[in-house]
Amino acid sequence: MNQNATKKRAASARQSGAGSQKHPEDAVREALRPGQSVELLKALHILTRDGRLNQDSRRKLKQVEHLVQFIEKIVGELAPHAGALTLADHGAGKSYLGFILYDLLLKGQDGATVYGIETRPELVERSRALADRLGFARMRFLNIAAADAVQDAALPERIDIVTALHACDTATDDAIAFGLAKKAQAMVLVPCCQAELAARLRMNKALQLSRTPLAELWRHPLHTRELGSQLTNVLRCLYLESQGYSVTVTELVGWEHSLKNELIIARWTGHKKRSAGERLRALLDEFGLGALGPLRFAALAGTQ
């Protein structure tokens, strides 16, 4: 590169701000994987029209690619149920995750199929159009609620990997129920806020306060919400363990990027932990949440 060009790049890098001396093109090249579709990233607005990354999109890309790394490892290890890998993404939204997974990991795998499950029809239409445009032929988008996905004939009997990235409220629970029904080999979940359990804690607060000092944990509304969220994920993990999965819980990315970044990875082992089921039931009793049992942890019934 001649001296003038170098000066121009440095000036352009300074203009792009953030205190970085890096040229925007270099920053993009570093952020992308070899062969990654720039057209896709532009269509998802992760790259601007002129092919640059802004602060917001850098965060989104970092989050999704971090998740892709975990899923890449799983994809490399499992033997698909039906020969070709199937993955269902719940609460897909604009399908960032599904598209990037397909682009990076699955488009070269014979028969590998991604299903996006999303309630907003305009997002489903948009994703279908984008998949058509990019020639991503084995991506399907279903305009259905996560809770209805188990019965939907457009989905195969078995699904290898279930994902749910910030699927709203109880959609993560529906994704888990789906994964159990479809005998998923892995579930990768980053839960969103969950209101159902907090609402139930709120309902019988007075009764619980007179019964146990533990109820102090959810006496104040802010604590009710936080505890509700924490307890929800604890119960989800126990449920998965009770149904034959090993579970790890980590952070998706640093807390500075998102407040909802608990990453739950469940891998099928076939070893159903009875003690996990017992603890789940004990926790439901302790917190006065018995009614949630049949609703959210249906597979526990009859396994006492």
Ligand X SMILES: C[S@@+](CC[C@H](N)C(=O)[O-])C[C@H]1O[C@@H](n2cnc3c(N)ncnc32)[C@H](O)[C@@H]1O
Is 118 one of the binding residues for ligand X (CB under 6 A)? yes
- Interface mask toward ligand X for 156-195; x: CB under 6 A: ---------xxxx--x--x-----------------x---
292 touches ligand X (CB under 6 A):
no
Q: How far is CA 177 from CA 147, 171, 193, in A?
A: 8, 10, 18
8 Å CB contact between 62 and 68: no
Nearest residue to ligand X, using CB? 93
Is residue 101 part of the contact set for ligand X (CB under 6 A)? no
Measured from the CB atom, the residue of 23 and 296 that comes closer to ligand X is: 296
Show the binding pattern over residues 219-258: x = contacts ligand X (CB under 6 A), - = does not.
----------------------------------------
Q: How far is C-alpha 246 from the chain's CA centre?
A: 17
- How big is the chain by its Cα radius of gyration, in Å? 22
Does the protein bind ligand X through residue 96 (CB under 6 A)? yes
Q: Which of 146, 176, 227, 263 binds ligand X (CB under 6 A)?
A: 146
Contact region with ligand X (CB under 6 A), list: 65-73, 84-92, 233-241, 292-300: 84-92
Stretch that binds ligand X, among 27-35, 77-85, 114-122, 228-236 (CB under 6 A): 114-122
According to the binding rule CB under 6 A, does residue 117 interact with ligand X? yes
258 Rama sector, left if φ>0, alpha if ψ -120 to 50, beta otherwise: beta
Nearer to ligand X, 90 or 200 (CB): 90
Nearest to ligand X of 80, 91 (CB atom): 91
**Pick 187 or 215: Cβ nearer ligand X:** 187
Half-sphere exposure of 265 (CA within 13 A, CB side): 13
Q: Quote the least distance from Cβ 131 to ligand X, whole Å.
A: 16
Q: Which residues bind ligand X (CB under 6 A)?
A: 90-93, 96-97, 117-120, 123, 145-146, 165-168, 171, 174, 192
